[in-house]
Structure 1
């Protein structure tokens, strides 16, 4: 039972990160029908920028986190204005735009390699890494902070989408962009917000998970894949379904690695996703997306 609790704790920690990535991918996809393959690079940018601001610049933690958020927003705007907007203006299909985001991810990873090198670096922790006992589970404040951030950001996203007028604009743009434009909604503003908000969520995830995984410029690729898997499993197009998919993947990954081998985790997860898609093509909780189509 103790082992099961430990694996569950690890799964919830990793699953929260995957869920935040899935939420970010689905939020962008819901506004412009494009999958941002550079989303994981914002996690990498959050972790590596934390190293720069906390260690190199010796900024206080709150100020350093604020600086990381600014860097993430600037990077999101660069992605939108440098890749997404020019391609859309030229009438590029969604697949071409997705390839453009993949190219941007490669460029970002290469630029980070020139700045920080290929070695894994120490990311300063925001919360204590000392073990604490929560019932029969031994965890750390850093791990708890990741799960809490996941829950809080889910709540913020829900409030934004369903309790604000701008959230209504986001949902209208995702459902019928042309009709939304006729109603006075500016889709480009909605898409820009999607890029920026998703970048902030992913960068914060990078700051929190960096001390546990270590900072490495190549970490974005694997996290993008996990976030995409979460979105597909839960239901691409629904941020909350994608977040749930991330939790499911994290918990399954932890139990497979704990009771078997980590080498089997990804094949089993992909097999699960394949089975789910054969039964429910829109994902486990993708009824909203299916009904909209």
Structure 2
């Protein structure tokens, strides 16, 4: 089922012979996963380099938490957090993406060396984002999104989550391309955990192969998310802390790789780097 042809390539980025591993650097004090650990620029750059040494193919730098209920930071603060880290990693030869919903942050990050813009709103949060990405001629991750963190849980209502996510992603992808972003630079992301409850996330993971109908490479970002906590805890039990969900994350990474994902976005790289390589070996033996 999973082949390099299915996985796809992204114009402007390296080509990998397997599912790529995107490591996460949260330059925030309030991330659900590791808030505050990499808030200092020097620590964040070092962490990004450590992720590369552990097997990350690219590093995603973000300065605004998107956990459920999180409040937004102002633009100047996001710039202060993100741009020096992007510049520091890019200067070391790291393939860097920027995780932002703001066009100006995307522009400044690209100028500092980022080669991919990862916008969890798919260009909906800032109407200047699509023209900015089109002008910069960099790849763009279009994620399924129904609203900002403060209200997204109330929007987790679906009759058929797979069909609805597919349809809404198609509409958003069409809008991004109509706005000037080259189709071959578009990556899609089903938005696990964003306006979705655990059963919705699990259904999407079970049907990742159906997203190939959109014809673009697929990024899967399941790392440490709440639905994995529900799986590990069982009904009615207390969820394990985010950092105790890395083995479960690696399991989803293997499933995503086998389903033809272009990349997986994770906080702990080592286990997932192993998982995607095993998945590739199984593909080769099939």
Same fold (TM over 0.5): no
Whichever of the two has the greater Rg, that structure is: 1
TM value normalised by structure 2: 0.29
Structure number with higher relative contact order (C-alpha < 8 Å, ≥ 6 residues apart): 1
Q: Which one has a larger percent helix, Structure 1 or Structure 2?
A: 1
